[in-house]
Structure 1
């Protein structure tokens, strides 16, 4: 099928944590014979901070973030068999969603792909005119970045015909063990952009343990942290491109994952960095959220923390041997059960099922 995908960016992870998710899923679909065109706006300096050039498995259209640029890419929606609007593009989100629905060919599947489902659902509960809520009757499917049964039930309650979570995963060709890099040597490293609905949890799970363990070294990567007050044993290094993620994850004694507020509340929402860290055989410490055991086994493949004190206690008792054993076990688990090839098979199956239903109706 010809798939037209309107998202934030495939080429850049700059202020765009979904980049590796898009790459993994869409590459897997291309390997199953689908033709991918990804439409991304030239916005937020992402094109000046590209991690990759356009891959051979996708056509990438970078359009000006202007009304004229928007009109140009929407005009191509009618040529696709599947049109996908992902949330969080950052510019013209409403217009893109309404436009792809209006311009899609009669036979085309219309998909909304929610990479922040818990937050979207909260917005929809408070706004009957929310663009996603108004679009649901016209959509064939909602795919989500995660969220499990609570998100599926909520979307169906709002009138979605169907909702299927497509979780983050590992692309073994991209994320894998590498030699340690002295730039990232530390006892605990954390990588995430600074966002309002994550900051309080970062203070609890990262900065509080750092303050309580002044003799240990802490490293924080990502945009927005430069002016954040931090203990003296914390080093902020700014944006870390995806090409350095393996070394970032594989060099510290342990790496930390901290969910955003909404994702922690709903659960069943492993971030991309969970699988990227596991793919690099890192010892991962994550804030506890419902459903983690579906992805990694606590105490064997991942360490869980209820608060900053738990993080500090894990670090205080963690030896290099145990950290290595946890990282190797996590790597084996994700290579076996959580690859983008497996996730792509789910999307491929759903698209073919939906397309068969459209053909039956047409006949």
Structure 2
């Protein structure tokens, strides 16, 4: 099928945590023979911070963030069999959503890469554009959320809501040699965002304060003016090409969910699978559903707060860290690859096309 996908960016992970997810899913879909065009706006300096060149598995159209350019890319998707509007494009989100609804012969999908936050907005805003769009959309796909998200979207009127979880592309994220630039006892890769900052203060910065003799490393945008203890080193944006070395070098790496994802559960971030794919020893904040993806104490360490993180670090030997990382890698290769997610989405699209081909 021809797929027109309107998202934030495929080429750049700069202020764009969904990039890895898009790349993994679309690469896997292309392997099933789908012809994909990804439309992304030239916004937020992402094009100046590209991580990859245009890939072979999708045609990428970068358009100016103007109304005229928006109209042209929406018209260009008119011959697609599937039109997808992803959440969080950042510019023209409402107009893009309304635009894909003007293609009634196509499978029309809203793909929510931050469902917990979107649903929270919908609960507090009766005029949110998703409310009026749900009746015309064929389905909502999400990259997490489990039963709470499915029930919430269907309660708002979605015809179908199906989670397509984050995963691993083993060709992209895999064990790599150590890089002394990333040497630390604990590493965290996270942009500074309002709905995660307090949790990072608790799980990362508090742990650093409790262990002044240990080294902590913080990668990501926005931390340059954040007060931190002397044992924390903030290194700024880390490009995707360096993520494997970032995950493989520290004794352990930390995942901290955003507020909404932690509250709703069943929402593993891309970082979880990137770290597991690199055979890193991962410590994650506690959230419901972690057992669906990795087994606590054997494939991942789970922390309820910064004190727990500190206790994990104090008890963690290099041998145990390697054992946990190796077990996590084996688990994600067996159950959580983008190849498997691609099979899932291909089956969803094939079934939906068959449904639409049956006369009413």
Give the TM-score range, shorter chain: over 0.9
Which segment drifts farther, 203-212 or 119-128? 119-128
Deviating more after overlay: 353-362 vs 231-240: 353-362
Q: CA deviation at 1:76?
A: 1.0
Aligned to 2:301: 303
Equivalent of 1:257 in 255, 258, 271: 255
Say which SS state the counterpart of residue 358 (structure 2) adopts: helix
Q: Deviations over 1:119-147 (max 9, x none)?
A: 11111111121111110000001000100
Q: Distance in 1 between matches of 2:299 and 2:271?
A: 15
Distance 1:256 1:162 in 2: 34
Q: Distance in 2 between matches of 1:99 and 1:361?
A: 25
- Which residue of structure 2 lines up, in the alignment, with residue 17 of structure 1? 17
The residue number in structure 2 matching 1:267 is: 265
Measured after TM superposition, the shift of residue 312 of structure 1 is: 0.2
Match of 1:95 in 2: 95
**TM-score of the superposition, structure 2-length normalised?**
0.99
Query: TM-score w.r.t. structure 1 length?
Result: 0.98
- What's the counterpart of residue 81 of structure 1? 81
Among 318, 321, 333, which residue is 1:320 paired with? Answer: 318
Within a 5 Å distance, the mapping from 1:19-168 to structure 2 comes to 19-102=19-102, 104=103, 106-168=104-166
**Following TM superposition, where does structure 1 have runs of at least 4 consecutive aligned residues deviating by more than 2 angstroms?**
none
Deviations 1:78-112 (A, max 9, x none): 1100000001000000011001112x1x4210000
Number of corresponding residues: 360
Secondary structure of residue in 2 paired with 1:168: coil
Q: Structure 1: how far apart are the matches of 2:157 and 2:234?
A: 44
1:236-251 matched pairs, under 5 angstroms: 236-251=234-249
Looking at structure 2, the residues matched to 356 and 271 of structure 1 have their Cα atoms a distance apart, in angstroms, of 32
**Aligned-residue CA RMSD (Å):** 0.6
CA positional deviation for 1:361: 2.6
Residue 342 of structure 1 pairs with residue 359 of structure 2: no
Give 1:4's aligned residue. 4
* Cα distance between partner residues in 2 of 1:214 and 1:133: 49
Distance in 1 between the 2:267 and 2:187 partners? 21
**Distance in 2 between residues matched to 1:36 and 1:337, nearest whole Å:** 25
Deviation of residue 38 (structure 1)?
A: 0.2
1:250-305 Cα deviation digits (max 9, x unpaired): 00000000000000000000000000000000000000000000000000000000
- Which whole-Å CA distance do the structure 1 matches of 2:195 and 2:126 have between them? 23
Give 1:69 deviation, angstroms: 1.2
